[in-house]
Structures are given as structure tokens and as C-alpha cells.
């Protein structure tokens, strides 16, 4: 066989094998036997060995794995991979729908789909070919695990014919089928190895394995249900997913009621109740139902909060509950000084994992539950993640048990605890020298959404603190090679990485540096607001409480906290040291000059589709020029910026409240 003949045969076999994969793993309608499939695959493997330069990048032979990945690259998501808000009752869904109706124009249609209990994944395709696969990570960036995802046979490596975008991402959930998971645990038991706790954690661990051939052997599966692209998609979520099925993706089965369209709460609750009853019959695990607004235009209109889309919500099924014995209560101190009581329990299996500890939240909950050491307590996983004690089985309470007394002094530094009026938690006020508070602040400082310092983690912070090399975040920038090399587990390469990460962090923008300081109540969004308003740490430092509360979305509690932070000498010294180290404590002049205060004090509502700008671009222009974006029309709205397809209800409300409706050209004229 010559090269041209081999090239043609390799392409023919690759296409034929991918077609059979689709028939078997996606449609469950095999057209050839396993033996015949294996013979075709072996022929392709032989040809690729004989003509290695002709092997296609996404050859079906990649399905069996074999790639070794020492380190998974960190990748920034093109579209943030946000989590969903959770709800547990019909009343909360009704409240959510009512909020949507105040913002979105027209009748709202919903799509309900299963909430798979697996690992979220985003898979990118370029010109119809598998390009990469990225885990959720922290929502902003994740890990590239494409070599392992390619081994999942229900995920196409080359799309079928269709009108798909040239460059797009499809998201879904990778899970461990229960039959495969049980078989794996049976084999581990035979091999005298510890059994895996649950399918979700095992799927997550499998995706991070270095040897993709092991991943291939485990038989993971995937449902895909969300399309993202900068190119034009269909008009609706439903339309996009049905199209994805035509392109070759394994999408939720409409005939099995895995996904349905509906128009009212009663239909939504019927779908939820059906799956709450029938979920245990599925060959994989689910932990709830996801409800989404179907229309993309309405999704765009509804937008996002800092953490989740407004147009989607997850209904979580009631958690599994077990009983066990409360053996003792210990107390943890967080970076803000908040004290959290923790129940130490007789180990018990709950939702696939062994639980030994559970949160008790605060002293009020302990009193409300009337908890006593030795009690038999009910434990559940709140949202299937964090175990919590929910009640006491009074029928099993002994006569000798004594009521629990909440601690009065910090368990770490013995400082008298305080409890502020109106707050549930007790606090240790000794934030200057209480070890977990100091370390907690430094861990917050280096975290991904703050300074994001490569080469530094929680264990390293602990090691540096215990060795006496650092007492606060500013000390990190005074570390040298000679300080670090003598430490345990500090090799030349890791020291270089840490010092390079610290140097690179000096380019982190002011808003994130401000967030990294750990000022109480100043989260990401508030830090961004304050950075834009004041422009520099010096201007913010001298602001009074009265000045601060004048800033949009800054209340009295935040204002008090900011002023109190800068009034303390130890905090001022840390900030001054960080400034001396070269961190960015202001917004550069050229960036400040990009905007104006032309729209200062003006509140805008955007509705419709525009010719020259996207809605996000318009929102950004409003903020850059001192204005404020709001989602619904009220008497405080200054203008409604209307494009094509503005909803009649918004127009009617604006006219009723006599709010001016302006066009895209009007808005551009305002800025000019």
C-alpha cells in the first residue's frame, strides 16, 4: 500500500469508526458487532503504526488512551463557568419567576433538565473538530484535560454535517455510570484495595489521572446541554440543544423526559416530582433539576449576578439523612475571627462518603437544638456538600447528659470572644496576633480571585508562618532565595516559581489588590466599586463614612468597616509595605482617562437589540462615564436605552412613569 492509498484508507476508517461510535454510545443503536468494530480499529492502528505521519490528531485510536500528562495546563474560560443558585421549594421557584417577570419582556418559556451529579466540563470545537476540554475550576479558569476527555466514546472528535459555528464551546457533565462504578469497586475489593466512596468524586479523580489509558478503561460518560459562542446561535436554548444532537452530541433524551419545555410553575413542579420519585431508576446519579429561561434574548436581558445567571436556577432534591452520636464539639477560628463550632461524630456513611464532622454554625443553633454530648443526632448534607446537624433524637437521650456551654475565650489565643449586636457568630477580636486569623488573611491574599500568586498555597503559607519568615502578607515580598532554600520541600525550582509568582503579582490591578487586603464586607464587587470611585488607595484611605455611603451600593456597615480598617496602625503599616514593594494601589492615569463623569447620577435600563453595540458594551460605556446600570424600570430610572425588539411591558411602564426612552444614537450623542 502506497502513501496515498494509506491516507485515503485512514480517513475512511476514521470516519466509519466515528459513525459506529455515535450509533453505539449516543444513539444506543449499534449497526455492527463488537468483533467487527475491533477488527476495523485494529486495521487503523496498524496503518497508523506503518504511516505515523498520516495519523489524524483526533483519530478514533485515541479513544483507548495512552497519553501521559504530568501537569494539566490552567486555561482561562472564554465564557465564565458560573454555578447556579439553589432552591429547595416551590415557593422559592415562584419568587424566582416573579423576579424574572419584573425584568424580562414578554411571556417566559422554561426548559427543565436533569442536574447530573458529575463533573462540569466545557469542550471547544474549531471547524467541527475537538480542540480542548476544560474543567470548571474556580469558574474563571480551569484545567485542560482534553487527552482524558477524548477517551469518552460518547463525545465526538469530529462533528457530523451541520450549521454549527466555526468556533464554539459545548458544556455538560461527565459522570460515572453506576454499573461501571460498581464493577470498579468490586474489582478493587477483589484486589484488596480500598473501595471508592461515590461516583461523582471518582469521576473527578479519574479526569485528573496522568495516564489516559486508565481513564479510557473506566468508561466515563457525558451528557452535553449548553452552547456558547461569539458567533450567532439559535434563538433559544431548546433550539441549540436539539441542533447539537444533529451535530453528533449526546444530549438529554426528550422521549425519556430528561428535558422538557414548559410555561408554568405547575408543569415545572410536575417534572421535579416525577424525577424525585424516579431518579433511583436512572443508570447514573442526579441530585436535582435545572430550570432555565428558554429564549436567548430574555436570557441576555436578565443577565448575571457576580456568582450565577439570573435566568437559571437549580432545584435540589431533599438531602439524605442519617443518625449518629455526637462525641464532642470543637471550635474553628476563621480569617475574620469568626468562631464556628464543629460537631465531632461517630463516623457514619452519608451520601456515599464517611462523615466524621459537621457544622453547627453558631451558639444559637446549638441552643435551639438543645445539643448535648452523647446525643444521637440527625445529620444531612446541606446541598449534598457540607454535612450539618439538623435535629436530636430525644428518644435516645440518656439521663446523665449535660447541656453544652459555648466557649467564652478564643481556642487559639485565649482572647475573650465578642458578639456584635445583630450578628449570630462570636468573634475573636485579636486579629493582630491570633494565628488562624493571620494565616487566613494571607491565604485570602494569595487566593486566585485576589493576588493569584503562582507557587504559593495554603501549606506553604503555613510553613512560612511556622518558620517565622512571615507575619503578614507584606512579608511575602521580602522573601529571598536564601530564606526559602533551607526549608523542607523547597527545591530550587519551587523557590524560583514562588519568587517569580510574587514578582508577577505586582501587575495585578488595584481592584483585586484592594480585595486581597481582606477588609471585612469588601468582597470582589465592592472592591471594584470602591477602586473605580476613588482611583487610589490614598483617596480611599482619607474617605469618611459620610463620603463612602454616598457611593452607590456602599452601605453604613461597609463604610464603617473601611474606615475602621484604615484607622488601625498595623493595617496602615502593611499597606505601606505593600506599596513599597511595588503593588498597584491606584488605577493608571491612562485608564482613568478612558471614562468621564458625563452620566454621573444617571440610572439606565437597557432593553432590546442594538446595531452598533452589544448590550455588554453599552453597560460598560455607561459605567465608564459615571452612570449606573439597573435591571428594572422604577421612578429612580433616568433613561431607558431602547433597541429593536424592546418589550411592550417595559415601554408601557416607562411611559407610565414618564421615564425618557432614548435610542442608541441618542445615547452616543449624550457621550459626545
Mind listing the pLDDT tens digit for each residue in 258-308?
999 999 999 999 999 999 989 989 999 998 999 999 999 999 888 887 678
Q: How far is CA 165 from CA 79, 125, 244, in A?
A: 16, 9, 11
Nearest Cα residue to 382 out of 409, 412, 360, 410:
360
Q: How many distinct structural domains can be found in the chain?
A: 6
Comparing 525 with 576, the larger pLDDT belongs to 576
pLDDT at 68: 63
Tell me which residue of 594, 574, 573, 575 sits closest to 584, measured CA to CA.
Answer: 575
**Distance of alpha carbon 672 from alpha carbon 670, whole angstroms:** 6
pLDDT of residue 652 exceeding 90, the answer is no
Domain end marker among 429, 462, 487: 429
Rounded to the nearest 10°, the torsion over CA 597, 598, 600, 604 is -130
| Cross-strand pairs, 116 | 286
> Strands 286-293 and 74-76: what pairing?
unpaired
All cell numbers assigned to 648 = 411592550
Q: Interhelix angle for 178-190 vs 199-207, to 10°?
A: 80
Domain harbouring 623, CATH code: 3.40.50.10190
Based on the fold, state whether residues 414 and 517 are members of the same structural domain: no
CA dihedral of residues 370, 373, 376, 380 (deg, nearest 10): 70
Q: CATH number for the domain including 193?
A: 3.30.470.30
Cα 168 from Cα 79, distance rounded (Å): 10
Which of 154, 113, 121 lies closest to 286 in space, CA to CA?
Answer: 113
Distance CA 445, CA 476 (A): 10
Neighbouring-strand partners of residue 330: 342
Range of the domain at 209: 85-316
Measured CA angle at 524 (ends 476, 136), to 5 deg: 90
536/473 same-domain check: no
Residues in the chain, overall count: 672
Let me know if residue 74 belongs to a domain.
no
pLDDT-based confidence at residue 66 (cuts at 50, 70, 90): low
Q: Specify whether 296 is located in the same domain as 343.
A: no
CATH code (residue 458): 1.10.150.20
pLDDT score recorded for residue 550: 84
- Angstrom distance (rounded) from CA 27 to CA 660: 54
Task: Give pLDDT, residue 384.
Answer: 47
Helix (H), strand (E) counts: the chain: 25, 21
Q: Are 583 and 633 part of one and the same domain? A: no
Whether 135 and 143 have beta carbons less than 8 Å apart is answered as yes
Quote the percentage of the chain above a pLDDT of 90. Answer: 54
Within-domain flag for 53: yes
In sequence order, which residues have a C-beta less than 8 Å from that of residue 481 and are 6 or more positions away?
Answer: 495, 499
Q: Given a cut of 60, is residue 604 above it in pLDDT? A: yes
Q: Which position among 62, 115, 381, 441 bears the catalytic label? A: 115
Q: Given 283, 301, 316, which residue is the final one in a domain?
A: 316
Report whether pLDDT(462) > 70. Answer: yes
- Provide φ and ψ at 272, rounded to 5°: -65, -45
77 in a structural domain = no
**Average pLDDT of the chain?**
89
- Please compute the mean of the pLDDT values over residues 120-132 and round it to a whole number: 94
- Distance in angstroms (rounded) separating the CA atoms of residues 157 and 161: 13
pLDDT at 219 over 70: yes
Give mean pLDDT, residues 489-510.
92
On whether both 102 and 230 belong to a single domain, the answer is yes
Q: What's the pLDDT at 574?
A: 96
Contact of 291 with 269, CB cutoff 8 Å: no
Has residue 76 been placed in a domain?
no
Do residues 585 and 459 both lie within one domain? Answer: no
Provide the CA 242 distance to its chain's centre, in angstroms.
Answer: 26
Same domain, 173 and 273: yes
Over residues 41-61, mean pLDDT: 83
Domain membership of residue 75 (yes or no) is: no
**Which of 360, 297, 285, 365 has its CA nearest to residue 330?**
360
Domain with residue 37: its CATH number is: 1.10.287.610
In this predicted structure, which of 78-92, 382-396, 476-490, 527-541 has the lowest mean pLDDT?
A: 382-396
Give yes or no: residues 270 and 293 share one domain.
yes
Q: Which of the four pLDDT bands, split at 50, 70 and 90, describes residue 65?
A: low
Residue 524 backbone zone (phi > 0: left; psi -120 to 50: alpha; other: beta): alpha
Q: Which residues contact 53 (CB under 8 A, 6 or more apart)?
A: none
Domain assignment present for residue 618? The answer is yes
Rg for the chain, CA atoms, rounded: 28
**Contact between 451 and 506 (Cβ < 8 Å):** no
- Is residue 105 scored above 70 in pLDDT? yes
More confident call, 33 vs 496:
496
Residue 451 in grid coordinates:
493576588
Predicted local confidence at residue 594, as pLDDT: 62
Strand partners, 260: 112
Environment class of residue 536 by beta-carbon count within 10 Å: exposed (0-12), middle (13-18) or buried (19+)? middle
Who's near 322: CB < 8 A, 6+ residues apart?
Answer: 348, 349, 350, 355, 378, 379, 380
Q: Which of 363, 438, 422 shows the shortest CA–CA distance to 556?
A: 422
Instruction: Determine, yes or no, domain membership for 403.
Output: yes
- CATH code, domain carrying 337: 2.40.50.140
Among 55, 526, 147, CA closest to 306:
526
Same-domain pairing of 252 and 264: yes
Same domain, 405 and 458: no
Please state the rounded mean pLDDT for residues 435-443: 94
Is 506 considered catalytic here? Answer: no
Per residue, what are the HEC states of 520-537?
CCCCHHHHHHHHHHHCEH
Same domain? For 357 and 439 the reply is: no
What is the per-residue burial (b if ≥16 Cβ within 10 Å, else e) of 300-324?
ebbbeeeebbbbbbbbbbebeebeb
Is 522 a domain residue? yes
Domain termination residue (choose one: 592, 616, 631): 592
In this structure, the answer to whether residues 291 and 323 fall within a common structural domain is no
Amino acid at each position: 500500500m502506497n502513501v496515498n492509498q494509506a491516507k485515503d484508507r485512514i480517513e475512511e476508517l476514521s470516519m466509519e469508526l466515528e459513525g459506529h461510535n455515535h450509533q453505539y454510545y449516543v444513539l444506543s443503536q449499534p449497526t455492527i458487532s463488537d468483533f467487527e468494530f475491533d477488527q476495523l480499529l485494529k486495521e487503523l492502528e496498524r496503518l497508523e503504526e506503518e504511516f505515523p505521519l498520516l495519523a489524524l490528531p483526533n483519530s478514533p485510536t485515541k479513544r483507548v488512551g495512552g497519553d501521559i500528562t504530568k501537569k494539566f495546563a490552567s486555561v482561562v474560560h472564554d465564557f465564565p463557568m458560573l454555578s447556579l443558585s439553589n432552591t429547595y421549594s416551590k415557593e422559592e421557584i415562584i419568587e424566582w419567576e416573579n423576579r424574572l417577570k419584573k425584568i424580562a419582556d414578554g411571556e417566559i418559556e422554561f426548559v427543565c433538565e436533569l442536574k447530573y451529579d458529575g463533573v462540569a466540563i466545557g469542550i471547544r470545537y474549531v471547524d467541527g473538530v475537538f480542540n480542548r476540554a476544560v474543567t470548571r475550576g474556580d469558574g474563571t479558569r480551569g484545567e485542560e484535560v482534553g487527552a482524558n476527555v477524548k477517551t469518552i466514546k460518547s463525545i465526538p472528535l469530529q462533528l457530523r454535517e451541520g450549521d454549527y459555528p466555526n468556533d464554539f464551546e459545548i458544556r455538560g457533565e461527565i459522570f460515572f455510570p453506576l454499573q461501571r462504578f460498581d464493577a470498579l469497586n468490586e474489582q478493587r475489593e477483589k484486589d484488596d484495595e480500598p473501595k471508592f466512596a461515590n461516583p461523582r468524586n471518582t469521576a473527578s479523580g479519574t479526569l485528573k489521572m496522568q495516564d489516559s489509558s486508565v481513564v479510557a478503561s473506566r468508561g466515563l460518560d457525558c451528557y452535553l446541554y449548553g452552547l456558547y459562542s461569539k458567533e450567532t446561535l439559535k434563538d433559544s436554548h431548546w433550539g441549540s440543544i436539539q441542533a447539537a444532537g444533529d451535530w453528533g452530541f449526546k444530549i438529554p433524551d426528550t422521549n425519556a423526559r430528561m428535558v422538557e419545555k414548559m410555561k408554568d410553575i405547575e408543569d415545572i413542579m410536575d417534572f421535579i416530582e416525577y424525577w424525585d420519585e424516579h431518579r433511583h431508576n436512572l443508570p447514573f446519579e442526579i441530585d436535582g433539576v435545572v430550570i432555565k429561561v428558554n429564549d436567548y434574548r430574555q436570557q441576555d436581558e436578565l443577565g448575571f449576578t457576580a456568582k450565577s445567571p439570573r435566568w437559571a436556577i437549580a432545584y435540589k432534591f431533599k438531602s439524605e439523612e442519617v443518625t449518629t452520636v455526637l462525641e464532642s464539639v470543637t471550635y474553628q477560628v476563621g480569617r475574620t475571627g469568626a468562631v464556628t463550632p464543629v460537631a465531632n461524630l461517630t463516623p457514619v456513611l452519608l451520601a456515599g462518603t464517611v462523615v466524621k464532622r459537621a457544622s453547627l454554625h453558631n451558639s444559637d443553633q446549638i441552643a435551639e437544638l438543645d445539643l448535648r454530648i452523647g446525643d444521637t443526632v440527625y445529620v444531612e448534607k446541606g446541598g449534598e456538600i457540607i454535612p450539618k446537624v439538623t435535629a436530636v433524637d430525644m428518644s435516645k437521650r440518656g439521663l446523665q447528659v449535660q447541656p453544652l456551654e459555648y466557649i467564652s475565650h478564643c481556642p487559639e489565643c485565649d482572647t475573650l470572644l465578642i458578639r456584635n449586636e445583630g450578628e449570630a457568630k462570636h468573634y475573636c477580636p485579636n486579629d493582630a496576633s491570633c494565628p488562624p486569623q493571620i494565616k487566613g488573611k494571607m491565604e485570602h491574599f494569595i487566593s486566585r480571585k485576589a493576588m493569584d500568586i503562582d507557587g504559593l498555597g495554603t501549606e506553604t503559607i503555613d510553613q512560612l508562618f511556622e518558620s517565622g519568615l512571615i507575619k503578614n502578607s507584606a512579608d511575602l515580598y521580602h522573601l529571598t532565595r536564601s530564606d526559602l532554600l533551607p526549608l523542607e520541600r523547597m527545591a530550587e525550582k519551587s523557590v524560583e516559581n514562588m519568587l517569580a509568582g510574587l514578582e508577577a503579582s505586582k501587575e495585578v490591578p488595584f481592584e483585586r489588590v484592594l480585595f486581597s487586603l481582606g477588609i471585612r464586607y469588601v468582597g470582589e464587587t465592592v472592591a471594584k466599586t470602591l477602586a473605580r470611585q476613588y482611583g487610589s488607595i490614598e483617596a480611599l484611605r482619607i474617605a469618611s463614612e459620610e463620603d463612602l455611603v454616598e457611593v452607590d451600593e456602599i452601605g453604613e456597615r461597609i463604610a464603617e468597616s473601611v474606615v475602621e480598617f484604615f484607622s488601625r496602625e498595623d493595617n496602615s503599616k502593611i499597606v505601606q509595605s505593600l506599596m513599597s514593594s511595588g503593588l498597584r494601589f491606584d488605577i493608571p492615569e491612562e485608564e482613568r482617562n478612558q471614562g468621564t463623569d458625563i452620566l454621573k447620577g444617571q440610572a439606565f435600563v437597557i432593553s432590546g437589540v442594538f446595531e452598533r453595540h452589544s448590550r455588554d458594551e453599552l453597560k460598560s460605556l455607561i459605567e465608564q462615564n459615571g452612570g449606573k446600570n439597573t435591571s428594572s424600570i422604577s421612578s429612580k430610572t433616568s433613561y431607558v436605552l431602547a433597541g429593536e425588539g424592546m418589550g411592550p411591558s417595559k415601554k408601557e411602564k416607562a411611559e407610565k412613569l414618564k421615564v425618557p426612552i432614548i435610542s442608541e444614537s441618542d445615547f452616543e450623542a449624550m457621550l459626545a
